[in-house]
Structure 1
């Protein structure tokens, strides 16, 4: 097995085609977060992004995107944003984790959404978690007919709320692939406010993530497209979603809504309309991502398993990094693992969000105004 290392933007058309072919050959690697376009997008923001290309007989048979710093500490590419991580390889290809780390110059490799089929990493997995998905069956009828057949338990209440918002604001319509960049900016504004309101870390306060989203929005390829979807009532946008799709998988990524319209359950309406429309556009699987959320329990048809952990070689830097990161991961996983803690934790985060928002409003109101 020969392994060469490349920057993502150094991959020419031929290796990108081989990477796409590898995704097509193995359904578990069809996720858009495993596409070269996502690695290239991260590489535009992070100088340490690399791709290890595995060769057999001179032909590329595997692709391993990762990030590495000057100390040899590595992580899955887009860690914290990516909902699917793997060494993408053709069926039957075998590889060794230690050999891979040496070739990449990494003493340790951290991951948190590893595809379950990555056997050489098995002994390095410290925990596995459910990642809900929706198996999509395209319908020939209306969205209401699809909803009644796919989600009979949700259909009555959802359709009632959709009719109500239509009466109050105007006819409900859904655009699966909205190309208006102004709507992308609106989505990021809503999502940023939602993060602050709920006490979560505001990912979109980081310029590099905003730049990444803007870049992926412009990518229009068969194996990777940045899809912006918007639910409108009349001319008013109600909810929006942005996420990448491959030829067959749509990743649920940034979903948000107008907080003034929260009583209409716009987030749920968005997910249902998105799933129905995705089926009409050739998607067979919607990946909701790891995490325990009530709407995921309502919508999922099954669960995949993803792993987190640290693949390491004997090295003092690896030992120190693992000692530092393991308690952080353990604390983060404690609440989801104990259902009784979830509601108090959510209340605490919302209280923090309220205080944060109030402080921001107060700060804005006390700024001296120009005369």
Structure 2
């Protein structure tokens, strides 16, 4: 067994075998090189991708970066705190244990946000005598599991579906019928990207949300979407009204599960419930699309709760080597200091032009 920590250049060189390990483990998008390498080019911190090899074969990988604030360094997952669910990749329990042992041996602390509380990574951290671990449950993630042959009628009531049908008829009578368009490949994405950008800009303009289709975020999201499209794992479903792109759902596929990353609709469509119309269309076509599970990722909302029939809990994890318990307190102090300084920097247009990593 060999343990190594990679910078951006060496991490990019092993992207092929990294992606193969993620595919083998049916792992989430946030574990893939498409996600981590795109983030490393724009996010804060220094890439610190940890790997374990057995007989030269890649069997474990932690897609991490090192973030130093106020002189205190911790290893974090890419796009820390931005809603995707992360973890480590490991071919087996031994590989996962070797990853954690290698990190502990170098006296490096972990700050991991949005970790599934049922993740074997968390169980192994808690069981290991080499780590001291704090876990705080933070949020519920909602899911839809849908059987073959079923559709929206298995998730929503008759009254709701009649309302959505009525809204579609209103639009059709107005000469603007509703259709959907599925984007999977890079060329199709390039053609529809201006429409996706326009809807995102209108949707996020006064929302207080970050627009992932505009600078500086687009330098992360667009390469990610392109890479996932080339790998055949991107799924963007657009709602067209009278032939105009008015809403979309951007998703990443892992087997028959899709992670629903970003959904947006143009505000001028609000009274027609475009999110509901789009979700119904996607749900009714799930067999054709090869989907039996929709993962809404981090957070709950009224919309998600109306459709979901399952879910899981996620939390924030702080883990420090047992030999250095004081790191927990220094990390906490650095976090508090950053929380105090961040509003001041934003107010003065300072160095927080890029989001925290």
Distance 2:291 2:49 in 1: 27
Question: Is 235-244 or 89-98 further displaced after alignment?
Answer: 89-98
Determine if the alignment matches structure 1 residue 2 to structure 2 residue 7.
no
Determine if the alignment matches structure 1 residue 106 to structure 2 residue 108.
yes
Q: Which residue of 1 aligns with 2:129?
A: none
Higher strand share: 2
Deviation of the 1:108 alpha carbon: 3.6
Render the CA deviation track for 1:281-301: whole Å, top value 9, x for unaligned. Answer: 222221101212011111112
How has the CA–CA distance of structure 1 residues 137 and 176 changed in structure 2, closer, same or farther, with 3 Å as cutoff?
Answer: farther
How has the CA–CA distance of structure 1 residues 221 and 172 changed in structure 2, closer, same or farther, with 3 Å as cutoff?
Answer: closer
Deviation of the 1:268 alpha carbon: 1.5
Determine if the alignment matches structure 1 residue 162 to structure 2 residue 165.
no
Please report the TM-score for the alignment, with normalisation by the length of structure 1.
0.74
How has the CA–CA distance of structure 1 residues 261 and 203 changed in structure 2, closer, same or farther, with 3 Å as cutoff?
Answer: closer
Map 1:13-92; keep pairs closer than 5 Å: 13-21=16-24, 23-24=25-26, 30-46=27-43, 48-69=46-67, 71-92=72-93
Contact 1:250 1:278 (8 Å CA) reproduced: no
Contact 2:28 2:86 (8 Å CA) reproduced: no
Distance 2:226 2:302 in 1: 32
Distance 1:327 1:289 in 2: 29
Map 1:223-302; keep pairs closer than 5 Å: 225-302=233-310
Contact 1:3 1:103 (8 Å CA) reproduced: no
Map 1:107-256; keep pairs closer than 5 Å: 107-114=109-116, 116-117=118-119, 118=121, 119-122=123-126, 123-139=133-149, 146-153=151-158, 154-177=160-183, 179-181=188-190, 183-198=192-207, 200-204=208-212, 207-220=215-228, 225-256=233-264
How has the CA–CA distance of structure 1 residues 202 and 222 changed in structure 2, closer, same or farther, with 3 Å as cutoff?
Answer: closer
Question: Is 262-271 or 226-235 further displaced after alignment?
Answer: 226-235
How has the CA–CA distance of structure 1 residues 88 and 316 changed in structure 2, closer, same or farther, with 3 Å as cutoff?
Answer: same
Distance 2:216 2:276 in 1: 29
Distance 1:121 1:266 in 2: 43
Q: Which residue of 2 aligns with 1:345?
A: none
How has the CA–CA distance of structure 1 residues 146 and 75 changed in structure 2, closer, same or farther, with 3 Å as cutoff?
Answer: same
Question: Is 99-108 or 66-75 further displaced after alignment?
Answer: 99-108
Q: Which residue of 2 aligns with 1:364?
A: none
Give RMSD over aligned pairs: 3.1
Count matched residues. Answer: 317
Contiguous gaps of at least 5 residues in structure 1:
25-29, 140-144, 330-371
Contact 2:134 2:318 (8 Å CA) reproduced: yes
Distance 1:113 1:203 in 2: 24
How has the CA–CA distance of structure 1 residues 188 and 121 changed in structure 2, closer, same or farther, with 3 Å as cutoff?
Answer: farther
Aligned-partner SS, 2:82: coil
Contiguous gaps of at least 5 residues in structure 2:
127-132, 340-357
Deviation of the 1:196 alpha carbon: 3.8
Render the CA deviation track for 1:306-350: whole Å, top value 9, x for unaligned. Answer: 221322232766523323537999xxxxxxxxxxxxxxxxxxxxx
